Structure 1
């Protein structure tokens, strides 16, 4: 059977369609086939580009930054020596409150109706002092009196009438009557005064007898040796009696009872704790006191400690934007670390309130450049073949290696200056990474 022309046309169209589809599939499949070289090229990472930053001109300052706790400086226990009292050591007044300030030359406490005056000194009061006393405790007392403006005469180790007068002025300034000398000493003064009075009368009688002998009528030159001898003897006796009176008065000068003075290393101080109350009896420590000034203590390692020394300036950040100037007061070893005690130069009432029992940020400048210098990030520095430092500088699409001398480093930047004939300027682009 022979196909009709119409049937043949349908077969040809079908074959053509299949051929076209096969060609499309082949082209599509061919477009997905790549060589190993092309595949590697397409999956390789892009070529690294260099990261650069400009050279800056800026002032650099290295510093130590740490946090520290505040405290009142130098706590001490205060004891009163009451062994010299003839009455019970009962607290009768002037009991301080916690937080109050102990001032030099003022009464810290009253015991048995008498003051306990605070003075600054390292040697404790261990005995009563009086005219005739000698020793290092007398020297310390006179040095203290002289410093406070009470003239003790020659500052030495001898308690004399000048010292006694200065002690009397100390009590007057504190608002108290000066201590009285012992009864025996006052009785000795009274006896010496009576003796002087008697000898003055004896001298007057001898002088009167001499005068009468001279005026008596009689022939020739009169022998007045007896009367004159009596006058001379009376004068000598009176001189000796007046010397004895001066000595008795000197010995009866104002004393300093051991129970009425306490020497503390430094004053003023803040009262931290009170161990006694009015009406109670003193037995041992009467109070503990720290320094009147607040300080901040930070801890540093041995390496950092080598950068610091007493007297260096610092600053305290109180957290509310207030910055308080300060100085390093002292540095002391504490186990494997070091305590750096920083004291504010002055405090307003607001700053004092913020500092109490606070933990604050302390900044201590260690070193700084003299004005603005060329500076690059520390990451821009690399070591050259000779061990020196260098930076990579990009100029006009090229990279130059510029040897530099490195100065102060701070806050991630380093001071640099080009070596030799090389050039490095503000704004030059230096490579810090790729």
Structure 2
């Protein structure tokens, strides 16, 4: 089975041939000199875009309390759950997993999704004796005290705002913005981070958003020419600031492409790649070259069917155009049917 990629010339060709008029089922004057066979294959309407291979979306670790930076990591350093990412006033900020950012102090009596997220992490780190739910109880406080003791901190049983950094998973430090020994206030960035898994970032024009379908499969062409499969993991709208006061900001569609085969991209920390998106696909359809289509006098399109001794024009319905081919269907049209290619 052949798989074909899209070509932008298909519709333009039809417009240029719109003055060709023949009656349906009319016998042609002669057997066509140039012919092609109807084939059954898969058509893919694809478009390619430039992408950047890296570690995906960058996030910021924001300080929550005034103090002095007493510990920062190095760029490129990786952290897992339970690791200290940085310290303020010699108090560690610990990485835990979750999608909800820390936004308040948690203590006995607190309730909510953030409590559940905290308790899930405490349990995963080996602390026991409490029920993993959305209620911060005395048993939760005892587990927090054990955790604080292991960190060498005061055993208060409460989780202060700023003592935990929640991230979806393992993180890699992208850049460090705070300097050890320097004062820092609330809402100042300490560092930026990414995930530890390689991913591709693509910025599409807003008009091309149709290409970015969540979980859609894509092909990623690497700098060495090799192609690896990818999957659209995240789609978001971003605003690109104007380069000058005379220009307007641009709206882009940012696409994060996940790559399951991490070994295939291990050789590159950062690289430009090509990403091929499939806008639409038609499997096991009958196709002919776009050049085989003729405009019929009574409307619509047809093809000149030849049996080697005579030919006639047969109306057809058209479907997907891709790679110079067009999907067709019509009476008597089947794989192997000979059709004429007009000069």
TM-score category (smaller protein): 0.7 to 0.9
TM-superposition CA deviations, 1:198-230 (whole Å, max 9, x none): xxxxxxxxxxxxxxxxxxxxxxxxxxxxxxxxx
Provide the rounded CA distance (Å) in 2 between the counterparts of 1:258 and 1:341: 30
Q: Secondary structure at the match of 1:105?
A: coil
The equivalent residue for 1:177 is 152
TM-superposition CA deviations, 1:2-43 (whole Å, max 9, x none): xxxxxxxxxxxxxxxxxxxxxxxxxxxxxxxxxxxxxxxxxx
The equivalent residue for 1:246 is none
Q: How many residues align?
A: 297
The equivalent residue for 2:44 is 61
Match of residue 395, structure 1, among 272, 288, 307:
307
Q: Is the 8 A contact 1:76 1:289 kept in 2?
A: yes
Q: Secondary structure at the match of 1:353?
A: coil
The equivalent residue for 1:432 is 341
After the TM superposition, which of the residue ranges 312-321 and 401-410 deviates more from structure 2? 401-410
Match status 1:357 vs 2:270:
yes
Provide the rounded CA distance (Å) in 2 between the counterparts of 1:111 and 1:338: 37
The equivalent residue for 2:242 is none
Match of residue 259, structure 2, among 320, 328, 344:
344
CA offset at residue 50 of structure 1? 4.8
The equivalent residue for 1:267 is 169
TM-superposition CA deviations, 1:167-221 (whole Å, max 9, x none): 245457xx5235323xxxxxxxxxxxxxxxxxxxxxxxxxxxxxxxxxxxxxxxx
Instruction: Report the structure, 1 or 2, having the larger strand content.
Output: 2
Q: Secondary structure at the match of 2:141?
A: helix
Q: Secondary structure at the match of 2:178?
A: coil
Q: Secondary structure at the match of 2:267?
A: helix
Instruction: Report the structure, 1 or 2, having the larger helix content.
Output: 1
Q: Is the 8 A contact 1:71 1:296 kept in 2?
A: yes
Match of residue 109, structure 1, among 70, 78, 86:
86
CA offset at residue 145 of structure 1? 3.5
The equivalent residue for 1:189 is none
Provide the rounded CA distance (Å) in 2 between the counterparts of 1:412 and 1:395: 24
The equivalent residue for 2:6 is none
**Which has the higher relative contact order, 1 or 2, with Cα contacts under 8 A spaced 6 or more apart?**
2
The equivalent residue for 2:102 is 124
CA offset at residue 413 of structure 1? 0.8
Q: Is the 8 A contact 2:102 2:161 kept in 1?
A: no
Provide the rounded CA distance (Å) in 2 between the counterparts of 1:336 and 1:287: 26
Provide the rounded CA distance (Å) in 1 between the counterparts of 2:311 and 2:220: 45
The equivalent residue for 2:223 is 319
TM-superposition CA deviations, 1:314-343 (whole Å, max 9, x none): 121113243222111222334455333222
Match of residue 161, structure 2, among 233, 250, 258:
258
> Structure 1 residues 406, 303: CA separation in 2 closer, same or farther (over 3 Å shift)?
farther
CA offset at residue 73 of structure 1? 2.4
The equivalent residue for 2:26 is none
Structure-1-length-normalised TM-score: 0.59
Provide the rounded CA distance (Å) in 1 between the counterparts of 2:299 and 2:123: 64
TM-superposition CA deviations, 1:275-319 (whole Å, max 9, x none): 334444444322122333333233445554335410111121113
TM-superposition CA deviations, 1:127-185 (whole Å, max 9, x none): 3x43345566545533544566645425234x32211233245457xx5235323xxxx
Match status 1:89 vs 2:79:
no
**Long gaps (5+) in structure 2:** 1-31, 239-249
Provide the rounded CA distance (Å) in 2 between the counterparts of 1:322 and 1:296: 15
CA offset at residue 98 of structure 1? 0.5
Q: Secondary structure at the match of 2:224?
A: coil
Q: Which structure's CA Rg is the greater one?
A: 1
> Structure 1 residues 394, 352: CA separation in 2 closer, same or farther (over 3 Å shift)?
same
**Long gaps (5+) in structure 1:** 1-48, 182-253
The equivalent residue for 2:21 is none
> Structure 1 residues 113, 432: CA separation in 2 closer, same or farther (over 3 Å shift)?
same
CA offset at residue 390 of structure 1? 1.0
Structure-2-length-normalised TM-score: 0.73
CA offset at residue 359 of structure 1? 1.6
